[in-house]
Amino acid sequence: MRIALLVLEALPNARTVRRLVADRAGEIVFVGLSNAERPSTGGLTGQMRRHLSRSGTGILPYLAVNFGLPDLLRPLAPLTQAAAGSTDRPEATPLATLCRRLGIRAAKVDDVNGPETAKALREAEPDLILTYHFDQILKPETIALARLGGINGHPGLLPRHRGPVPTIHALAEGPDAFGMTLHRLAAAIDAGAILDQEAVRLPADVTATRAAVMLHAHGRGMLDRLLDTVVATGTLPEGRMVDMLPYCPFPDRAMLAGLKRRGLRLTDTEDLKAAAGLSLR
């Protein structure tokens, strides 16, 4: 099995995907690291304008903990790892560094459907594309560069909560709304046939951030079972199609205000510590 892994390395998935790469290094032939500040999104400035316009300042702590702080601290990882004695721990090692150590080709991805990524995928000749917390939508011709197509890991119970922040919408819906889904990659957002799905009961005080971390970790066991099946059979299961439900975008001001009134939090100091400590243990 030859796997091309595409991810946006951030707090929700960092430790899980780093361990995945270390454990399945013999199968992973390419790692594409999404550039969250790519020009096509307007860069950091353009993205911040959109977030503030839609969600107001209430979204800023969530963005800072999940994405901003991990990005800011990643260049300091060699120093923090040396101080913490975690240099040899895959979970504490940024993916680009880990891939260099393991001899796996890794590259920044500005456009997953662009010529540079297509060239990298053709050279890697993957049997399967795996996206696990990836923020770009693959076109059919990109998915077709893998013999068996692709799998996406989504921290939500599809078809509910399609979109980039499913744990925020699950938090708003209630404690029974959390779960993890593995589905076939499709050219529409979170719309491929479902390959595996499990509801997951999370602690009553969970934040949307911590829920995403827990669900990505839970999905690792599901993913290993699915990949082992693909290796054994040489095929990717067809899965089951379901009717799509409405897309769930980043929350607007009204949704954030409603969560706050109910005492539900997107993030907290425990999440902040986790983001700051991604290279410490």
> Is residue 62 exposed (0-12), middle (13-18) or buried (19+ Cβ within 10 Å)?
buried
The tally of domains found in the chain comes to 1
CA–CA dist 141, 138 (Å, integer)? 8
Q: Measured between alpha carbons, how far is 251 from 54 in angstroms, rounded to an integer?
A: 7
Q: Report yes or no on 191 lying in a domain.
A: yes
Please say whether the beta carbons of 267 and 209 come within 8 A: yes
CA 31 to CA 108: how far, in whole Å? 9
pLDDT at 44: 85
CA pair distance 47, 179, nearest whole angstrom: 28
Range of the domain at 165: 3-276
The answer as to whether 193 is a domain residue is yes
In terms of DSSP bridges, do strands 179-184 and 194-199 run parallel, antiparallel, or are they unpaired? antiparallel
DSSP per-residue codes, 167-221: HHHHHHH-GGG-EEEEEE--SSTT-SPEEEEEE----TT--HHHHHHHHHHHHHH
User: By 3-state DSSP, what share of the chain in percent is helix, strand and coil, each rounded to 5?
Assistant: 45, 15, 40
- pLDDT for the residue numbered 40: 87
> Is residue 115, in this structure, part of any structural domain at all?
yes
Calculated CA dihedral for residues 26, 32, 33, 36, nearest 10 degrees: -160
Question: Is residue 281 a part of any domain in this protein?
Answer: no
In the prediction, which pLDDT does 96 show? 97
pLDDT digits 0-9 by tens, 148-161: 999 999 999 999 99
Q: What is the CATH number of the domain that holds 85?
A: 3.40.50.170
* pLDDT on residue 41: 85
Q: How many CB atoms lie within 10 A of CB 232?
A: 9
Mean pLDDT (10-residue bins), the chain, 281 residues: 98 98 98 93 89 96 97 95 95 98 98 98 98 97 98 98 97 96 96 98 97 98 98 96 95 97 98 96 77
Q: From CA 49, how far away is CA 150, in angstroms rounded?
A: 33
